Amino acid sequence: MIRNSVRIRTLRRIAGIIQAVLIIGIPFVRIKGESAFRFDIPTLRLHVFGYSIWMQEFFIVLIATIFLTLFIVFITLVFGRVWCGWLCPQTVLIDFTPFVDKAKKKGIAYKLLAFTAAFVISIVVAAALIWYFVSPYEFIPDLMTGNLGSTTWGFWIVMTAIIFLNYAFLRHKWCATVCPYAKLQGVMFDQSTLVIELDPKRATECINCKRCENVCPTNINIREGLNAACINCAACLDACNEVMEQQGKKGLIRYAFGTAGEGRILRQNFFIVGVFVIVFFVFSVYLMSARTGIDFTVLPHPMEARFTKDGSIINAYVLSVKNMRNEPVDLRVSVERFNETVSQSINEPVHIVAGGRDRLPLFVRVKDASGLKGARKIRITLSDKNKNINLTRETNFIIPDDV
């Protein structure tokens, strides 16, 4: 007798619960005073686990997005539609709302109850999506006090309507009709991608009970071979295991790398895509670790280079400094001293609040410019006490002709 194995649906259910908790819970997690993961629309900042990335730094987001895209390609290449079957929020929510499918065959009272429940779930899911843009710590109090903005209300209503129509009516048809990822997967598969299939060597053992067909949410007959509409939910695999275990046998449907299990995990495509994934991952990590979180530009000052009565030369600059960190910084300004008579107007550390921008006028004076002519390159450096920040910008110190 074959011992009952752990059903895939149990494992998928556990994965789904974990995912639902994460999706709804992450917006409530705060790191360094900001959401763990949120794109803040008013300030155009992306908060990522303690880091805040501003629009000026979107190069980092671009590289991270390329890494993520390649990672998805890699996972799809190796594990096929594992995302669809195990992780996609669409699949998870549909798995958690089987009562909507049952409602089609039941009376009006059940239908009303099921659609009301689906509507309430849609409201919560839509709100959870908005929390990735508007913090729930603002959203919920604003909702309670009637201060939720009209734009947020608008998004919430539209999102709720779309999610409700999807969950109530489209359901698994979404995967086969609308989902762009599902449409792209065909080009990411190769001969060794993980699939769910009827073991061809044991096909003759099939007792034609049609359980695999009847449980399939997308109405596929797995016995007819691979189908692009298959979402890898493994319901047919569980069903066949249940049937065949009663016959004292293993199920006929299985996970296999490549059709007929003839694929190899380690193949050329695996290495080519894998190398790109690693390169972009390393590049993303490097960009994040090398990031200072300070945007520093030296701008021209309206005052031109000029002499003072005592014969000194003064050049003026505007230091535009933006603190993109989540904590305040105290920055020292230092000017390259090309001779011992150079002095500067900012000598104390400059305090810039978290997320703040300052425009600091800086006057550089040279008491004795004898022997100097034209424009001289000087370097202006911003640094903090620990030298974690050390940014240098080069500019010109102008020595007027009649010195």
Residues binding ligand SF4 (CB under 6 A)? 196, 198, 206-212, 215-218, 220, 222-223, 230-236, 239-240, 243, 252-253
The total of other beta-carbon atoms located within 10 Å of residue 20's CB is 16
Closest distance to ligand SF4 from the beta carbon of 15 (Å):
15
Closest distance to ligand SF4 from the beta carbon of 236 (Å):
3
Closest distance to ligand SF4 from the beta carbon of 267 (Å):
24
Nearer to ligand SF4 by Cβ, of 63 and 233: the residue is 233
φ, ψ of residue 198 in degrees (nearest 5): -80, 125
Closest distance to ligand SF4 from the beta carbon of 207 (Å):
5
* CA separation for the pair 119, 114 (Å, rounded): 9
Strand partners, 52: 47
Contact 148, 71 (CB under 8 A): no
Nearer to ligand SF4 by Cβ, of 206 and 362: the residue is 206
Closest distance to ligand SF4 from the beta carbon of 259 (Å):
14
Nearer to ligand SF4 by Cβ, of 220 and 321: the residue is 220
The two tokens of residue 272 are 């080519």
* Type and span of the H or E element at 288: helix 268-290
Nearer to ligand SF4 by Cβ, of 145 and 208: the residue is 208
Closest distance to ligand SF4 from the beta carbon of 258 (Å):
16
Nearer to ligand SF4 by Cβ, of 116 and 246: the residue is 246
Contact 38, 135 (CB under 8 A): yes
Closest distance to ligand SF4 from the beta carbon of 237 (Å):
7
Closest distance to ligand SF4 from the beta carbon of 9 (Å):
10
The two tokens of residue 354 are 């978290």
User: Where does residue 196 rank: exposed (0-12), middle (13-18), buried (19+ CB within 10 A)?
Assistant: buried
The two tokens of residue 57 are 């730094």
C-alpha torsion sign, points 376, 393, 296, 54: positive
Contact 85, 12 (CB under 8 A): yes
* CA separation for the pair 271, 169 (Å, rounded): 42
Closest distance to ligand SF4 from the beta carbon of 91 (Å):
10
**Among candidates 355, 398, 349, which has minimal Cα distance to 373?**
398
* CA separation for the pair 148, 150 (Å, rounded): 7
Nearer to ligand SF4 by Cβ, of 243 and 364: the residue is 243
Nearer to ligand SF4 by Cβ, of 255 and 363: the residue is 255
The total of other beta-carbon atoms located within 10 Å of residue 353's CB is 12
Number of helices (H) and strands (E), helices first, in the chain?
13, 16
* CA separation for the pair 93, 164 (Å, rounded): 11
The two tokens of residue 114 are 């099921």
Closest distance to ligand SF4 from the beta carbon of 210 (Å):
5
Nearer to ligand SF4 by Cβ, of 232 and 315: the residue is 232
Farthest-apart Cα atoms in the chain, separation: 106
Nearer to ligand SF4 by Cβ, of 85 and 136: the residue is 85
Strand partners, 394: 379
C-alpha torsion sign, points 386, 356, 143, 17: negative
Nearer to ligand SF4 by Cβ, of 225 and 328: the residue is 225
